[in-house]
Amino acid sequence: MTSTASLPKSPPAPGGIRARPRSVTAAMCACVLVAQSLVAAMNLAIPKISASALHPSPAQLLWIVDTYVLVFAGLLIPAGALGDRVGRKGVLLTGLGVFAAGALLSAPATTLPVLLAGRALSGAGAALLVPATMAVLLHTAPPDRRAGAVAAWSTAIGIGGLAGNAGGALILQFLPWQGLFWVYVPLGLGLLAWVAAATPRVPRQTAALDLPGSALLALGAAALLFGVIEGPGRGWSSAPVTGAFALALVVFALFVRHGRRAAHPVLDPRLFRLPRLLAGSLGIAVTFFGMFALFYVNAQFLQYVKAYSPLRTGCAIAPLALGMMAVTRYGLRWARRAGEARTAGTGLTLVAAGLLLLATADAGTPYLCYLVFLLVMAAGAGLATPTLSQAVVASVPAHRSGMGSGLQGAARELGAALGIAVVGTVLSVRFASGTGHGAATAAAFTEATALGYRIAAGVVLVVGCAVVWGLRTGARAGRSGS
């Protein structure tokens, strides 16, 4: 296994641009922060979209949020291979342009299909740009600063969700939901200009595009989410829902079979024989499962139950960013001292504990108490995210860095999509049954939110145990092989 500290020194930057590592790191972190922030910003817009002329159903609201995340997750790994093959900078610039184009399509949307198409286009752009940022980062950072650059990149990913909440709150306090997308258009174009000026071209690597494998991966994820999201409305035993779950199982089985036989698979399933890589990927997925379960429910809870305005809602969750930043700075340092398994296990336990504490909140919970619950989750994510990201990146050969970034990105976004889908589904089922007539009452919403948080916490704890075991197994294998 290759660690970032043992990678060879970067060659001089081609293309006439002299690479300044700190400037490049800042640009790459800004790109992933903006791409990730759009996932969370949509959560604050749910009340306004729900009351708009679109009149979406609960399932359609989930699709509005999750379409971006689903396309993002499904295309990340092939996008990483594409960057390896045709050039990371070109793919990065293309991704930023597509991201901005999707926002431009979403902003004036007057029908649900157009809005979903815009969300999908922005998700495709995000998938192109995110793995390219990691590849560029590892190429330009000096060997002794690569671990720090990875930590900064991981922090930007995590804080992106929090920035989306805070920035989205400010926008939605004064503008309709369309204003959210109008703001992301110049953001995307501004980043495109910055990257074009500051980033050197990175030498291409030999990489094959596996279109059948990519299609199977995206189809399996879409079928799984369709079953989870559409279950309450169509019925869990209905033919479309049971058929979707069956299709997901079949497609994922075909994906594994294809990956084992293909000469150059988009993701070789045999890589998951590496305990450290498998554990890191699962850990990233379940960390973002828990965090985005929070992001989806929290904005609605504070507005419906606590009667906060969008701006106050954004401000109420903003301290999460500070807590996560403070802990992430020392996450890798603690991992070196205490070990990856112990550090990641502690982080995931804190994420689950924060969800269980939030399940006790109601209309009468003081904000300072609520803030403590949020900071417990922030500390957990701050410990787990950089540690798990490093475990994945260090398990992949240097010449496949784009694939490694795509793998952890796909795990992150699929975990976020499932967190949103699962807690949103629990919310819609329990909320409707609690009100009897679907009326928005604070008591019913609080009860539904608490159940969603408890289910999410259980998932984090169960998967977290598997992650700790995998990291310990990987550590023992590493020691025996050294």
Does the structure show a pLDDT above 90 at 351? yes
Arithmetic mean of pLDDT, 163-178: 86
Does the structure show a pLDDT above 60 at 4? no
Give the pLDDT band (50/70/90) at residue 31: very high
Q: What pLDDT was estimated at residue 207?
A: 60
Q: What pLDDT was estimated at residue 19?
A: 57
Q: What pLDDT was estimated at residue 145?
A: 74
Q: What percent of the chain has pLDDT over 70?
A: 88
Give the pLDDT band (50/70/90) at residue 465: very high
Does the structure show a pLDDT above 50 at 227? yes
Give the pLDDT band (50/70/90) at residue 233: confident
For the chain, what are the domain ranges?
17-195+266-481, 210-265
Highest mean pLDDT pick, 301-305, 356-360, 427-431: 356-360
Q: What pLDDT was estimated at residue 198?
A: 84
Q: What pLDDT was estimated at residue 93?
A: 93
Q: What pLDDT was estimated at residue 441?
A: 64
Does the structure show a pLDDT above 50 at 62? yes
Does the structure show a pLDDT above 70 at 192? yes
Q: Tens digits of per-residue pLDDT, 120-147? A: 999 999 989 988 888 788 777 777 777 7
Arithmetic mean of pLDDT, 196-218: 78
Q: What pLDDT was estimated at residue 100?
A: 96
Q: What pLDDT was estimated at residue 375?
A: 93
Arithmetic mean of pLDDT, 344-359: 94
Q: Which residue has the higher pLDDT, 4 or 40?
A: 40
Q: What pLDDT was estimated at residue 119?
A: 95
Q: What pLDDT was estimated at residue 182?
A: 95
Q: Which residue has the higher pLDDT, 440 or 83?
A: 83
Q: Which residue has the higher pLDDT, 457 or 309?
A: 457
Q: What percent of the chain has pLDDT over 90?
A: 28
Does the structure show a pLDDT above 80 at 85? no
CATH of domain 17-195+266-481: 1.20.1250.20
Does the structure show a pLDDT above 70 at 175? yes
Arithmetic mean of pLDDT, 398-408: 65
Does the structure show a pLDDT above 90 at 259? no
Does the structure show a pLDDT above 80 at 91? yes
3-state secondary structure the chain: CCCHHHCCCCCCCCCCCCCCHHHHHHHHHHHHHHHHHHHHHHHHHHHHHHCCCCCCCHHHHHHHHHHHHHHHHHHHHHHHHHHHHHCHHHHHHHHHHHHHHHHHHHCCCCCHHHHHHHHHHHHHHHHHHHHHHHHHHHHHCCHHHHHHHHHHHHHHHHHHHHHHHHHHHHHHHHCCCHHHHHHHHHHHHHHHHHHHHHCCCCCCCCCCCCHHHHHHHHHHHHHHHHHHHHHHHHCCCCHHHHHHHHHHHHHHHHHHHHHHHCCCCCCCHHHHHCHHHHHHHHHHHHHHHHHHHHHHHHHHHHHHCCCCCHHHHHHHHCHHHHHHHHHHHHHHHHHHHHCHHHHHHHHHHHHHHHHHHHCCCCCCCCHHHHHHHHHHHHHHHHHHHHHHHHHHHHCCCHHHHHHHHHHHHHHHHHHHHHHHHHHHHHHHHHHHHHHCCCCCCHHHHHHHHHHHHHHHHHHHHHHHHHHHHHHHHHHHHHHHHC
